Structure 1
Protein backbone atom coordinates (compact mmCIF):
# COMPACT_ATOMS: atom_id res chain seq x y z
CA UNK A 1 0.00 0.00 0.00
CA UNK A 2 2.06 2.91 -1.26
CA UNK A 3 2.16 5.57 -3.93
CA UNK A 4 3.64 5.19 -7.39
CA UNK A 5 6.96 6.91 -6.72
CA UNK A 6 6.93 7.56 -2.97
CA UNK A 7 4.86 10.74 -3.12
CA UNK A 8 3.05 9.87 0.11
CA UNK A 9 6.33 9.49 2.02
CA UNK A 10 7.60 12.77 0.61
CA UNK A 11 4.43 14.55 1.71
CA UNK A 12 4.76 13.13 5.21
CA UNK A 13 8.39 14.19 5.34
CA UNK A 14 7.53 17.71 4.25
CA UNK A 15 4.70 17.93 6.78
CA UNK A 16 6.62 16.34 9.67
CA UNK A 17 4.41 13.25 9.76
CA UNK A 18 1.24 15.31 10.10
CA UNK A 19 -1.86 13.50 11.30
CA UNK A 20 -5.50 14.33 10.66
CA UNK A 21 -4.83 16.41 7.58
CA UNK A 22 -7.01 16.92 4.52
CA UNK A 23 -6.13 15.74 1.01
CA UNK A 24 -7.53 16.28 -2.47
CA UNK A 25 -6.90 13.37 -4.83
CA UNK A 26 -7.87 14.18 -8.41
CA UNK A 27 -7.43 11.15 -10.62
CA UNK A 28 -7.75 8.70 -7.74
CA UNK A 29 -8.21 5.58 -9.94
CA UNK A 30 -9.17 2.57 -7.77
CA UNK A 31 -7.93 4.26 -4.60
CA UNK A 32 -5.34 1.61 -3.80
CA UNK A 33 -2.91 0.82 -6.59
CA UNK A 34 -0.27 3.55 -6.81
CA UNK A 35 -2.46 5.80 -4.66
CA UNK A 36 -0.77 8.88 -3.24
CA UNK A 37 -3.33 9.28 -0.46
CA UNK A 38 -4.41 5.87 0.85
CA UNK A 39 -1.53 5.72 3.34
CA UNK A 40 -2.42 9.16 4.66
CA UNK A 41 -6.02 8.06 5.18
CA UNK A 42 -5.41 4.64 6.69
CA UNK A 43 -2.30 5.18 8.77
CA UNK A 44 -2.31 8.89 9.60
CA UNK A 45 -6.00 9.64 10.09
CA UNK A 46 -6.39 12.02 7.18
CA UNK A 47 -9.73 12.73 5.58
CA UNK A 48 -10.24 14.12 2.14
CA UNK A 49 -11.82 13.93 -1.28
CA UNK A 50 -11.10 11.45 -4.06
CA UNK A 51 -12.34 12.32 -7.55
CA UNK A 52 -12.39 9.77 -10.38
CA UNK A 53 -14.17 9.95 -13.77
CA UNK A 54 -13.61 6.36 -14.94
CA UNK A 55 -16.71 4.21 -14.26
CA UNK A 56 -14.88 0.97 -13.44
CA UNK A 57 -12.29 2.66 -11.23
CA UNK A 58 -14.96 4.56 -9.36
CA UNK A 59 -16.86 1.37 -8.51
CA UNK A 60 -13.68 0.02 -6.92
CA UNK A 61 -12.86 3.34 -5.28
CA UNK A 62 -16.06 3.54 -3.26
CA UNK A 63 -15.36 0.10 -1.80
CA UNK A 64 -11.71 0.71 -0.92
CA UNK A 65 -11.76 4.20 0.58
CA UNK A 66 -13.55 5.74 3.56
CA UNK A 67 -13.25 9.35 2.43
CA UNK A 68 -15.77 11.13 0.25
CA UNK A 69 -15.54 9.92 -3.35
CA UNK A 70 -16.95 11.77 -6.35
CA UNK A 71 -17.67 10.19 -9.72
CA UNK A 72 -16.80 13.27 -11.70
CA UNK A 73 -14.74 14.53 -14.61
CA UNK A 74 -13.11 17.79 -13.55
CA UNK A 75 -12.83 20.71 -15.95
CA UNK A 76 -12.86 24.50 -15.83
CA UNK A 77 -16.58 24.64 -16.64
CA UNK A 78 -19.62 22.40 -16.81
CA UNK A 79 -20.09 20.88 -20.26
CA UNK A 80 -20.11 17.57 -22.17
CA UNK A 81 -16.79 16.35 -23.58
CA UNK A 82 -15.39 13.18 -25.23
CA UNK A 83 -13.44 11.00 -22.80
CA UNK A 84 -11.11 8.08 -23.52
CA UNK A 85 -12.30 5.69 -20.81
CA UNK A 86 -11.08 2.44 -22.38
CA UNK A 87 -7.46 3.47 -21.76
CA UNK A 88 -7.77 3.05 -17.98
CA UNK A 89 -5.21 5.14 -16.10
CA UNK A 90 -4.07 6.64 -19.41
CA UNK A 91 -7.56 7.86 -20.24
CA UNK A 92 -8.80 11.41 -20.12
CA UNK A 93 -10.44 14.26 -21.97
CA UNK A 94 -9.05 13.95 -25.47
CA UNK A 95 -9.35 17.67 -26.24
CA UNK A 96 -6.73 18.31 -23.54
CA UNK A 97 -4.28 15.54 -24.50
CA UNK A 98 -0.70 16.60 -25.06
CA UNK A 99 1.49 15.66 -28.04
CA UNK A 100 1.57 11.91 -28.55
CA UNK A 101 -0.71 11.19 -25.60
CA UNK A 102 -3.52 9.64 -27.63
CA UNK A 103 -1.12 7.50 -29.67
CA UNK A 104 0.60 6.30 -26.51
CA UNK A 105 -2.69 5.31 -24.89
CA UNK A 106 -3.80 3.44 -28.02
CA UNK A 107 -0.49 1.62 -28.31
CA UNK A 108 -0.05 0.81 -24.62
CA UNK A 109 -3.61 -0.41 -24.08
CA UNK A 110 -3.93 -1.97 -27.56
CA UNK A 111 -7.20 -0.19 -28.18
CA UNK A 112 -9.37 -1.00 -31.21
CA UNK A 113 -9.87 1.78 -33.75
CA UNK A 114 -12.87 2.71 -35.83
CA UNK A 115 -12.79 3.48 -39.55
CA UNK A 116 -11.57 7.00 -38.80
CA UNK A 117 -8.69 5.74 -36.67
CA UNK A 118 -10.29 6.71 -33.35
CA UNK A 119 -10.53 4.53 -30.23
CA UNK A 120 -13.86 4.07 -28.42
CA UNK A 121 -14.93 7.26 -26.64
CA UNK A 122 -17.65 8.13 -24.15
CA UNK A 123 -19.23 11.46 -23.30
CA UNK A 124 -18.64 12.87 -19.82
CA UNK A 125 -20.46 15.65 -18.03
CA UNK A 126 -17.79 17.79 -16.38
CA UNK A 127 -17.64 19.42 -12.95
CA UNK A 128 -15.58 22.34 -11.66
CA UNK A 129 -13.16 22.07 -8.76
CA UNK A 130 -15.12 24.72 -6.92
CA UNK A 131 -18.24 22.55 -7.04
CA UNK A 132 -16.35 19.42 -6.00
CA UNK A 133 -14.72 21.13 -3.02
CA UNK A 134 -18.05 22.60 -1.94
CA UNK A 135 -19.71 19.17 -2.06
CA UNK A 136 -16.92 17.80 0.14
CA UNK A 137 -17.11 20.72 2.57
CA UNK A 138 -13.36 21.05 2.11
CA UNK A 139 -11.50 23.26 4.59
CA UNK A 140 -9.91 26.54 3.48
CA UNK A 141 -6.44 24.95 3.62
CA UNK A 142 -5.93 21.63 1.83
CA UNK A 143 -2.79 20.02 3.20
CA UNK A 144 -1.98 17.96 0.11
CA UNK A 145 -3.27 17.88 -3.45
CA UNK A 146 -2.41 14.93 -5.70
CA UNK A 147 -3.04 16.16 -9.25
CA UNK A 148 -2.95 13.49 -11.96
CA UNK A 149 -5.63 13.98 -14.60
CA UNK A 150 -3.87 13.03 -17.85
CA UNK A 151 -3.65 16.40 -19.53
CA UNK A 152 -5.91 18.80 -17.64
CA UNK A 153 -3.49 19.62 -14.82
CA UNK A 154 -2.74 23.20 -15.87
CA UNK A 155 -6.37 23.88 -16.68
CA UNK A 156 -7.45 22.68 -13.23
CA UNK A 157 -4.78 24.75 -11.50
CA UNK A 158 -5.97 27.84 -13.34
CA UNK A 159 -9.58 27.13 -12.35
CA UNK A 160 -8.78 26.35 -8.69
CA UNK A 161 -10.88 28.59 -6.39
CA UNK A 162 -7.99 30.43 -4.73
CA UNK A 163 -10.48 32.93 -3.32
CA UNK A 164 -11.86 30.19 -1.04
CA UNK A 165 -9.11 27.59 -0.71
CA UNK A 166 -5.39 27.03 -0.92
CA UNK A 167 -3.07 24.04 -0.54
CA UNK A 168 0.25 23.51 1.24
CA UNK A 169 1.80 20.69 -0.81
CA UNK A 170 1.00 19.55 -4.33
CA UNK A 171 2.39 16.84 -6.58
CA UNK A 172 1.61 17.30 -10.26
CA UNK A 173 2.05 14.68 -12.94
CA UNK A 174 3.61 16.23 -16.04
CA UNK A 175 4.57 13.24 -18.23
CA UNK A 176 7.25 15.48 -19.77
CA UNK A 177 4.59 17.43 -21.65
CA UNK A 178 5.18 21.08 -22.70
CA UNK A 179 2.70 22.32 -20.07
CA UNK A 180 5.15 21.31 -17.33
CA UNK A 181 6.92 24.67 -17.57
CA UNK A 182 3.63 26.57 -17.66
CA UNK A 183 2.55 24.77 -14.49
CA UNK A 184 5.75 25.79 -12.74
CA UNK A 185 5.41 29.41 -13.82
CA UNK A 186 1.79 29.48 -12.70
CA UNK A 187 2.51 28.07 -9.24
CA UNK A 188 5.63 30.12 -8.60
CA UNK A 189 3.71 33.29 -9.46
CA UNK A 190 1.30 32.37 -6.66
CA UNK A 191 3.87 31.84 -3.95
CA UNK A 192 4.70 28.17 -4.44
CA UNK A 193 8.22 26.73 -4.55
CA UNK A 194 9.39 23.81 -6.63
CA UNK A 195 10.82 21.32 -4.14
CA UNK A 196 11.73 18.29 -6.21
CA UNK A 197 11.23 16.52 -9.53
CA UNK A 198 11.21 12.80 -10.04
CA UNK A 199 10.06 10.49 -12.80
CA UNK A 200 6.86 12.10 -14.14
CA UNK A 201 5.90 14.24 -11.14
CA UNK A 202 6.87 17.63 -9.73
CA UNK A 203 6.36 18.65 -6.11
CA UNK A 204 5.65 22.18 -4.90
CA UNK A 205 5.03 23.72 -1.49
CA UNK A 206 3.32 26.95 -0.50
CA UNK A 207 6.16 29.06 0.88
CA UNK A 208 3.95 30.80 3.44
CA UNK A 209 3.11 27.44 5.02
CA UNK A 210 6.77 26.70 5.83
CA UNK A 211 8.17 29.88 7.40
CA UNK A 212 10.05 28.08 10.16
CA UNK A 213 11.88 25.87 7.71
CA UNK A 214 13.13 28.61 5.41
CA UNK A 215 11.25 27.20 2.45
CA UNK A 216 12.80 29.76 0.15
CA UNK A 217 16.33 28.56 0.76
CA UNK A 218 18.18 26.37 -1.69
CA UNK A 219 19.60 24.38 1.24
CA UNK A 220 16.15 23.39 2.51
CA UNK A 221 14.88 22.45 -0.93
CA UNK A 222 17.99 20.42 -1.72
CA UNK A 223 17.05 17.96 1.03
CA UNK A 224 14.19 16.73 -1.14
CA UNK A 225 15.74 16.96 -4.59
CA UNK A 226 16.40 13.86 -6.64
Structure 2
Protein backbone atom coordinates (compact mmCIF):
# COMPACT_ATOMS: atom_id res chain seq x y z
CA UNK A 1 0.00 0.00 0.00
CA UNK A 2 2.83 2.40 0.95
CA UNK A 3 4.64 1.54 -2.32
CA UNK A 4 1.50 2.29 -4.35
CA UNK A 5 1.07 5.62 -2.56
CA UNK A 6 4.72 6.53 -3.23
CA UNK A 7 4.29 5.68 -6.92
CA UNK A 8 1.21 7.90 -7.06
CA UNK A 9 3.10 10.75 -5.33
CA UNK A 10 6.06 10.38 -7.69
CA UNK A 11 3.73 10.38 -10.67
CA UNK A 12 2.03 13.53 -9.49
CA UNK A 13 5.40 15.21 -8.85
CA UNK A 14 6.48 14.39 -12.39
CA UNK A 15 3.25 15.83 -13.76
CA UNK A 16 3.72 19.03 -11.75
CA UNK A 17 7.34 19.21 -12.87
CA UNK A 18 6.35 18.80 -16.51
CA UNK A 19 3.59 21.37 -16.08
CA UNK A 20 6.07 23.81 -14.52
CA UNK A 21 8.53 23.30 -17.37
CA UNK A 22 5.74 23.80 -19.92
CA UNK A 23 4.65 27.02 -18.23
CA UNK A 24 8.24 28.29 -18.14
CA UNK A 25 8.68 27.50 -21.81
CA UNK A 26 5.37 29.15 -22.66
CA UNK A 27 6.37 32.21 -20.65
CA UNK A 28 9.75 32.36 -22.34
CA UNK A 29 8.11 32.06 -25.75
CA UNK A 30 5.64 34.78 -24.79
CA UNK A 31 8.42 37.11 -23.65
CA UNK A 32 10.40 36.35 -26.78
CA UNK A 33 7.41 37.01 -29.00
CA UNK A 34 6.69 40.28 -27.18
CA UNK A 35 10.28 41.47 -27.48
CA UNK A 36 10.33 40.39 -31.10
CA UNK A 37 7.14 42.34 -31.77
CA UNK A 38 8.55 45.49 -30.16
CA UNK A 39 11.84 45.17 -32.03
CA UNK A 40 10.02 44.61 -35.32
CA UNK A 41 7.73 47.59 -34.70
CA UNK A 42 10.68 49.87 -33.98
CA UNK A 43 12.67 48.70 -36.99
CA UNK A 44 9.65 49.12 -39.23
CA UNK A 45 9.11 52.66 -38.03
CA UNK A 46 12.78 53.57 -38.45
CA UNK A 47 12.69 52.22 -41.99
CA UNK A 48 9.42 54.05 -42.56
CA UNK A 49 10.92 57.43 -41.67
CA UNK A 50 14.06 57.05 -43.74
CA UNK A 51 16.75 55.62 -41.44
CA UNK A 52 18.42 53.25 -43.88
CA UNK A 53 21.56 52.24 -41.98
CA UNK A 54 20.87 48.67 -40.81
CA UNK A 55 23.13 48.81 -37.75
CA UNK A 56 21.43 52.03 -36.65
CA UNK A 57 17.99 50.47 -37.16
CA UNK A 58 19.05 47.40 -35.19
CA UNK A 59 20.42 49.49 -32.34
CA UNK A 60 17.19 51.47 -31.98
CA UNK A 61 15.10 48.31 -32.34
CA UNK A 62 16.99 46.54 -29.54
CA UNK A 63 16.75 49.57 -27.27
CA UNK A 64 13.01 49.79 -27.88
CA UNK A 65 12.50 46.04 -27.38
CA UNK A 66 14.22 46.24 -23.99
CA UNK A 67 12.25 49.30 -22.94
CA UNK A 68 15.28 51.62 -23.05
CA UNK A 69 13.64 53.86 -25.64
CA UNK A 70 9.94 54.54 -26.18
CA UNK A 71 7.93 56.39 -28.79
CA UNK A 72 4.24 57.23 -29.09
CA UNK A 73 3.83 59.00 -32.46
CA UNK A 74 1.19 57.14 -34.43
CA UNK A 75 3.18 57.29 -37.69
CA UNK A 76 6.64 57.82 -36.19
CA UNK A 77 6.65 61.62 -36.08
CA UNK A 78 8.67 61.65 -32.86
CA UNK A 79 11.22 59.20 -34.25
CA UNK A 80 11.63 61.25 -37.41
CA UNK A 81 12.22 64.43 -35.41
CA UNK A 82 14.63 62.79 -32.94
CA UNK A 83 16.67 60.65 -35.30
CA UNK A 84 16.38 62.17 -38.78
CA UNK A 85 15.91 65.92 -38.35
CA UNK A 86 17.55 66.61 -34.98
CA UNK A 87 19.77 63.59 -34.16
CA UNK A 88 21.46 63.88 -30.78
CA UNK A 89 19.54 66.98 -29.69
CA UNK A 90 18.53 66.73 -26.03
CA UNK A 91 17.56 70.34 -25.33
CA UNK A 92 15.16 71.04 -28.20
CA UNK A 93 11.95 73.03 -28.03
CA UNK A 94 8.61 71.81 -29.41
CA UNK A 95 5.10 73.16 -29.91
CA UNK A 96 2.25 70.65 -30.09
CA UNK A 97 -1.07 72.01 -31.40
CA UNK A 98 -3.90 69.61 -30.67
CA UNK A 99 -1.87 67.65 -28.14
CA UNK A 100 -4.97 65.80 -26.79
CA UNK A 101 -3.65 63.01 -24.52
CA UNK A 102 -0.26 63.72 -22.99
CA UNK A 103 0.98 60.17 -23.45
CA UNK A 104 -1.12 58.00 -25.76
CA UNK A 105 -0.22 58.62 -29.44
CA UNK A 106 1.52 61.83 -28.37
CA UNK A 107 4.04 63.18 -30.89
CA UNK A 108 6.02 65.02 -28.20
CA UNK A 109 6.03 62.70 -25.17
CA UNK A 110 9.20 60.91 -26.28
CA UNK A 111 10.93 64.22 -27.02
CA UNK A 112 10.23 65.40 -23.49
CA UNK A 113 11.75 62.19 -22.12
CA UNK A 114 14.90 63.06 -24.08
CA UNK A 115 15.16 66.39 -22.27
CA UNK A 116 13.22 68.62 -24.63
CA UNK A 117 10.91 71.36 -23.36
CA UNK A 118 7.94 72.95 -25.05
CA UNK A 119 4.31 73.93 -25.24
CA UNK A 120 1.22 71.73 -25.60
CA UNK A 121 -2.01 73.33 -26.76
CA UNK A 122 -5.46 71.76 -26.51
CA UNK A 123 -8.72 73.19 -25.16
CA UNK A 124 -9.36 69.89 -23.34
CA UNK A 125 -5.92 68.55 -22.32
CA UNK A 126 -5.76 65.24 -20.48
CA UNK A 127 -3.20 62.91 -18.97
CA UNK A 128 -0.68 65.76 -18.65
CA UNK A 129 0.23 65.18 -15.00
CA UNK A 130 3.60 63.61 -15.81
CA UNK A 131 4.50 66.14 -18.51
CA UNK A 132 6.85 69.08 -17.91
CA UNK A 133 5.75 71.24 -20.86
CA UNK A 134 3.60 74.35 -20.57
CA UNK A 135 -0.06 73.59 -21.26
CA UNK A 136 -2.43 76.10 -22.87
CA UNK A 137 -6.06 74.99 -22.75
CA UNK A 138 -7.15 76.98 -25.80
CA UNK A 139 -8.36 76.43 -29.37
CA UNK A 140 -6.02 77.82 -32.02
CA UNK A 141 -7.40 79.92 -34.87
CA UNK A 142 -6.24 82.79 -37.10
CA UNK A 143 -8.06 85.27 -34.84
CA UNK A 144 -7.86 85.27 -31.05
CA UNK A 145 -10.65 86.03 -28.61
CA UNK A 146 -13.49 84.53 -30.66
CA UNK A 147 -16.13 82.30 -29.09
CA UNK A 148 -16.53 79.23 -31.31
CA UNK A 149 -18.34 75.91 -31.28
CA UNK A 150 -15.99 73.01 -30.54
CA UNK A 151 -17.06 69.50 -31.53
CA UNK A 152 -16.22 66.27 -29.72
CA UNK A 153 -14.42 67.89 -26.74
CA UNK A 154 -11.87 65.73 -24.98
CA UNK A 155 -11.44 63.27 -27.84
CA UNK A 156 -8.68 62.70 -30.39
CA UNK A 157 -10.87 64.18 -33.13
CA UNK A 158 -12.13 67.28 -31.35
CA UNK A 159 -11.89 70.60 -33.19
CA UNK A 160 -13.50 73.90 -34.12
CA UNK A 161 -16.82 72.94 -35.66
CA UNK A 162 -16.80 75.37 -38.60
CA UNK A 163 -13.55 73.83 -39.93
CA UNK A 164 -14.41 70.19 -39.29
CA UNK A 165 -14.90 67.82 -42.20
CA UNK A 166 -16.59 64.59 -43.21
CA UNK A 167 -15.67 62.75 -40.02
CA UNK A 168 -18.07 64.74 -37.79
CA UNK A 169 -21.54 63.22 -37.32
CA UNK A 170 -24.70 65.23 -36.81
CA UNK A 171 -24.95 63.97 -33.23
CA UNK A 172 -21.44 65.26 -32.56
CA UNK A 173 -22.33 68.64 -34.07
CA UNK A 174 -25.40 68.85 -31.87
CA UNK A 175 -23.28 68.32 -28.75
CA UNK A 176 -20.63 70.95 -29.50
CA UNK A 177 -19.50 73.27 -26.70
CA UNK A 178 -18.27 76.87 -26.67
CA UNK A 179 -14.56 77.69 -26.34
CA UNK A 180 -12.37 80.77 -26.77
CA UNK A 181 -9.76 81.00 -29.52
CA UNK A 182 -6.17 82.17 -29.42
CA UNK A 183 -3.59 82.65 -32.15
CA UNK A 184 -0.45 80.55 -32.30
CA UNK A 185 1.77 83.64 -32.19
CA UNK A 186 0.04 84.90 -29.04
CA UNK A 187 0.53 81.55 -27.32
CA UNK A 188 4.21 81.48 -28.28
CA UNK A 189 4.72 84.95 -26.85
CA UNK A 190 2.93 84.14 -23.61
CA UNK A 191 4.95 80.94 -23.35
CA UNK A 192 8.26 82.76 -24.00
CA UNK A 193 9.02 80.42 -26.88
CA UNK A 194 12.40 80.88 -28.57
CA UNK A 195 12.58 82.30 -32.09
CA UNK A 196 13.94 78.96 -33.30
CA UNK A 197 11.57 76.08 -32.50
CA UNK A 198 12.91 72.62 -33.31
CA UNK A 199 9.53 71.00 -33.93
CA UNK A 200 5.95 72.10 -34.57
CA UNK A 201 3.14 69.54 -34.67
CA UNK A 202 -0.26 70.66 -36.01
CA UNK A 203 -3.21 68.30 -35.58
CA UNK A 204 -6.37 70.35 -35.00
CA UNK A 205 -8.95 68.60 -37.14
CA UNK A 206 -9.45 70.86 -40.13
CA UNK A 207 -8.25 74.15 -38.63
CA UNK A 208 -4.59 73.61 -39.61
CA UNK A 209 -4.51 76.13 -42.45
CA UNK A 210 -6.39 78.80 -40.53
CA UNK A 211 -4.05 78.43 -37.56
CA UNK A 212 -1.04 79.11 -39.82
CA UNK A 213 -2.55 81.54 -42.32
CA UNK A 214 -1.75 84.71 -40.32
CA UNK A 215 1.32 83.38 -38.52
CA UNK A 216 4.42 85.66 -38.49
CA UNK A 217 6.93 83.29 -40.09
CA UNK A 218 9.49 86.09 -40.07
CA UNK A 219 9.50 86.03 -36.25
CA UNK A 220 9.70 82.27 -35.67
CA UNK A 221 11.52 79.50 -37.51
CA UNK A 222 10.78 75.78 -37.26
CA UNK A 223 13.25 72.95 -37.79
CA UNK A 224 10.49 70.45 -38.58
CA UNK A 225 6.72 70.66 -39.02
CA UNK A 226 4.26 67.75 -39.10
CA UNK A 227 0.69 68.50 -40.18
CA UNK A 228 -2.34 66.26 -40.38
CA UNK A 229 -4.55 67.09 -43.37
CA UNK A 230 -7.32 64.45 -43.03
CA UNK A 231 -7.47 64.06 -46.79
CA UNK A 232 -8.85 67.58 -47.27
CA UNK A 233 -6.89 68.20 -50.46
CA UNK A 234 -7.87 71.85 -50.92
CA UNK A 235 -6.67 72.69 -47.41
CA UNK A 236 -3.59 70.54 -47.88
CA UNK A 237 -2.66 72.42 -51.07
CA UNK A 238 -3.13 75.78 -49.35
CA UNK A 239 -0.93 74.69 -46.43
CA UNK A 240 1.80 73.50 -48.81
CA UNK A 241 1.70 76.77 -50.77
CA UNK A 242 1.91 78.77 -47.54
CA UNK A 243 4.83 76.81 -46.14
CA UNK A 244 6.80 76.73 -49.40
CA UNK A 245 6.34 80.49 -49.68
CA UNK A 246 7.83 80.86 -46.19
CA UNK A 247 10.91 78.72 -46.80
CA UNK A 248 9.84 75.13 -46.08
CA UNK A 249 9.81 72.06 -48.28
CA UNK A 250 7.87 68.83 -48.08
CA UNK A 251 10.10 66.00 -46.87
CA UNK A 252 7.59 63.18 -46.40
CA UNK A 253 3.93 62.65 -47.21
CA UNK A 254 2.69 59.67 -45.21
CA UNK A 255 -0.95 58.61 -44.95
CA UNK A 256 -2.79 61.74 -43.78
CA UNK A 257 0.41 63.49 -42.72
CA UNK A 258 2.71 65.99 -44.46
CA UNK A 259 6.12 66.54 -42.89
CA UNK A 260 8.16 69.65 -43.69
CA UNK A 261 11.69 70.89 -43.02
CA UNK A 262 13.43 74.17 -43.74
CA UNK A 263 14.27 74.47 -47.44
CA UNK A 264 17.99 74.57 -46.67
CA UNK A 265 17.95 71.39 -44.58
CA UNK A 266 20.06 68.61 -46.09
CA UNK A 267 18.41 65.27 -46.73
CA UNK A 268 18.74 62.26 -48.96
CA UNK A 269 15.19 62.57 -50.32
CA UNK A 270 13.02 65.61 -50.83
CA UNK A 271 9.26 65.67 -51.28
CA UNK A 272 9.03 61.89 -51.27
CA UNK A 273 5.60 60.33 -50.87
CA UNK A 274 5.13 56.91 -49.26
Q: Displacement of 1:142 after TM fit?
A: 0.7
Q: Does 1:205 pair with 2:254?
A: no
Q: Does 1:194 pair with 2:253?
A: no
Aligned counterpart in structure 1 of residue 140 of structure 2, from 65, 69, 74: 74
For the residue of structure 1 that corresponds to 2:174, the secondary structure is: coil
For the residue of structure 2 that corresponds to 1:181, the secondary structure is: helix
For the residue of structure 2 that corresponds to 1:168, the secondary structure is: strand
Paired position in structure 2 for 1:155: 210
Change (3 A) 1:87 1:41: closer
TM-score, scaled to structure 2: 0.69
Aligned counterpart in structure 2 of residue 170 of structure 1, from 225, 235, 260: 225
Paired position in structure 2 for 1:7: 77
Q: Which moved further from structure 2: 131-140 or 82-91?
A: 82-91
Contact 1:86 1:120 in 2 (8 A): no
Q: Displacement of 1:128 after TM fit?
A: 1.1
Structure 2 Cα separation of the partners of residues 187 and 34 of structure 1: 25
Q: Does 1:51 pair with 2:125?
A: no
Which structure has more relative contact order (CA 8 Å, sep 6+)? It is: 1
Number of residue pairs the alignment of both structures matches? 201
Structure 1 Cα separation of the partners of residues 111 and 175 of structure 2: 35
Q: Structure 1: give runs of 5+ residues left out of the alignment.
A: 107-111
Deviation readout 1:179-213 (Å, 9 max, x if unpaired): 111111111111111001111111000123x2xx2
Aligned counterpart in structure 2 of residue 183 of structure 1, from 216, 219, 239: 239
Q: Displacement of 1:64 after TM fit?
A: 2.8
Paired position in structure 1 for 2:162: 95
Structure 2 Cα separation of the partners of residues 126 and 206 of structure 1: 28
TM-score, scaled to structure 1: 0.83
Deviation readout 1:78-119 (Å, 9 max, x if unpaired): 210111134711111111123x1323xx6xxxxx47xxxx42
Structure 2 Cα separation of the partners of residues 123 and 91 of structure 1: 12
Structure 2 Cα separation of the partners of residues 69 and 159 of structure 1: 22
Q: What is the root-mean-square deviation of aligned Cα atoms in Å?
A: 1.8
Aligned counterpart in structure 2 of residue 138 of structure 1, from 185, 189, 193: 193
Aligned counterpart in structure 1 of residue 112 of structure 2, from 41, 50, 60: 41
